Structure 1
Amino acid sequence: MQIIYHLGAHCTESERLCRSLLRDRGPLSKAGTVVAGPARFRHVLREALETLGGAPASAETQAFLLENVMDEDSPDRIIFCNENFLGQPNWALAQNQIYARAGEKTSGLRQLFPDAPTAFYLSMRSPATFLQTLISKGNAPKQTGAALLLDPATLRWSNTVASIREACPDATVTVWCDEDAPVIWETVMRDMAGIDDSLELAGAFDLVETLINKRGMRSLRQAIAPGMAPADRHRIIAAHLEKFGQADALDMEIDMPDWTQDYIDQLDAIYDADVEAMARMPGVRVLRP
């Protein structure tokens, strides 16, 4: 059995992705993949993490966890989604890092099922919009001087991923950009669930349908056929977003003190280079259109 942890991140539609997977819980279960219900597993896993303190779980503890988080017997994989696995949102940028305790947190998760192959999934977004969104939701970084000491130009998702890989060298890490999520949503779902294109997913359009108008959504559903190759699906979704996208849903205005457009462009360029760096890291996969 393979263990999948979706780590978030915050402000990247991670909860919506969890809901999309849960919508398809029945078909996925028949295909051998269990999507654990958050209300059922979060308390159980949290208590186990606190009790173990980073030590590997015994066979008895693992059996207890599985019995309490699912009803299925011996699935091929089980998915746990929790955007707080790496910490609470107001600690997401503490110590001028993106999830400074990512290595420690994922090491603890890895030890819950130490003998099972494990994979981590993480969605990212530009530090410029990540910081803006965290603050707009009341989650300003918890550090002395708050955002005054935070230099977004020094933030690197690759450092976060590298710390996960160092802490869990036998676990793979799959990442994608939140900016690409509307186009690759179904691809992410299938990759996380370990299924091919033959199984139709009810949650495949859960994100894109919030971004385009009703006419565009009708056209999109007609244009995409079951089993269509991912590249063709991505191309069609991108075209519909361009033609039918709702500007107020697609465009985010960044309003940070003293941030010029040139500075925002600089942050985006750093982010793009960081994604390319992650694509070259051993044990790391980047899902892209």
Structure 2
Amino acid sequence: MTSNQRTASVHLGANRVATSVTDCVSDHLRKLLTSVSTKAISRKEYVEHLRAAIVATDNLGLLQNAIEPVLKGKKALDKFQHIVISEHALLGPLEDMLTKKTMFPKAKRRVQNIGHAFSDRDIKIHLAIAPQAECFTSLLADEDFLTAPITGATPVHSWANLVTRIRDACPRAEVTVWNFEKPDEIMPSFFSSLLGIENDLLDRRTRHDISSKACEHLKNAKLLTEIVQIDDELQTRMDVQYELDLSAIGSMPNVSLARS
């Protein structure tokens, strides 16, 4: 980052892939971020001060003043050169990811809200994805979402379609898609890129927390594949779709694909 860039770096999904990111920011790292004029928004701050504007469905969510320049009881956000938001369910709840006709039907409006809310900043959007079968396993393990039998005829959603809609909703944003097939390998690079710092500046405590806390849902889903069985035909279609998605995303204009 150059010193005169004002940025908003937003990790907006997908659900249960790169989770507990801001929980891994150690006190040492937080001081380092402050020294380079970076504010990492905590989960509590996001819920209390930002979420209503970003998920709004009316014009209120498009007003920059709904977010900046003030965080109650904190320094004004506009005093920071760089703002970091990590909210893995920003695009919608889990059921919007896997059980709707279109994956995350509200994605366009929410990304537009981000663009308008931070209209005076360069925007960097980070989307973490994983194989559809692993995401579906996480869904199947949650009894609250077992609303219909899962068979080979179940629709398989496309990550590439979602990425296209995100890119087109905020054309000025720099969009990076992260392939979390191997979460432990990709997480340090994802974490440092989101925060806008070099990988070697991550202290030992942060690296430990990344390994032990982050991506817990995704890691559990990988273990659950041994217990929760998906229809063979559906599994095959999901595996094929993920490879097609990676290929399509890798060739998209104005989108970067990061692999471990």
Q: TM-score, normalised by structure 1?
A: 0.73
**Partner deviation per Cα, 1:104-138 (whole Å, 9 max, x = no partner):** 22111221122211121111111111112023124
Give % identity. Answer: 22
Number of aligned residues = 246
More helix by share: 1
Distance 1:141 1:91 in 2: 14
Which protein has greater RCO, CA pairs closer than 8 Å, 6+ apart?
2
Corresponding residue for 2:255?
284
Of the three residues 190, 195, 198, the one matched with 2:197 is: 195
Corresponding residue for 1:244?
none
CA distance 1:121–1:210, shift in 2 (3 Å) = closer
Corresponding residue for 1:53?
59
Q: TM-score, normalised by structure 2?
A: 0.80
Checking the alignment, whether the CA contact within 8 Å between 1:54 and 1:111 is kept in structure 2 is no
**Partner deviation per Cα, 1:141-178 (whole Å, 9 max, x = no partner):** 88xx57569734x3110111111111111112211122
Of the three residues 219, 227, 244, the one matched with 1:273 is: 244
Corresponding residue for 1:19?
23
Question: Are 2:129 and 1:124 aligned?
Answer: yes
Corresponding residue for 1:176?
178
Checking the alignment, whether the CA contact within 8 Å between 2:138 and 2:221 is kept in structure 1 is no
SS at match of 1:189: helix
> How big is the shift at 1:25?
2.0
**Partner deviation per Cα, 1:212-255 (whole Å, 9 max, x = no partner):** xxxxxxxxxxxxxxxxxxxxxxxxxxxxxxxxxxx999643263
Of the three residues 255, 258, 262, the one matched with 2:228 is: 255
CA distance 1:249–1:161, shift in 2 (3 Å) = closer
Distance 1:80 1:137 in 2: 27
Corresponding residue for 1:67?
71
CA RMSD of aligned residues (A): 3.1
Query: Unaligned regions of 5+ residues in structure 2, if any?
Result: 1-5
Of the three residues 207, 213, 224, the one matched with 1:204 is: 207
Distance 1:57 1:127 in 2: 35
Distance 1:158 1:146 in 2: 26
Distance 1:146 1:104 in 2: 31
Corresponding residue for 2:3?
none
CA distance 1:69–1:45, shift in 2 (3 Å) = farther
Distance 1:264 1:78 in 2: 39
Distance 2:213 2:118 in 1: 37
SS at match of 1:203: helix
Q: Which moved more, 1:41-50 or 1:109-118?
A: 41-50
Checking the alignment, whether the CA contact within 8 Å between 1:97 and 1:156 is kept in structure 2 is no
Distance 1:102 1:277 in 2: 19
Distance 2:257 2:175 in 1: 9
Query: Unaligned regions of 5+ residues in structure 1, if any?
Result: 212-246
Distance 1:70 1:185 in 2: 29
Question: Are 2:111 and 1:106 aligned?
Answer: yes
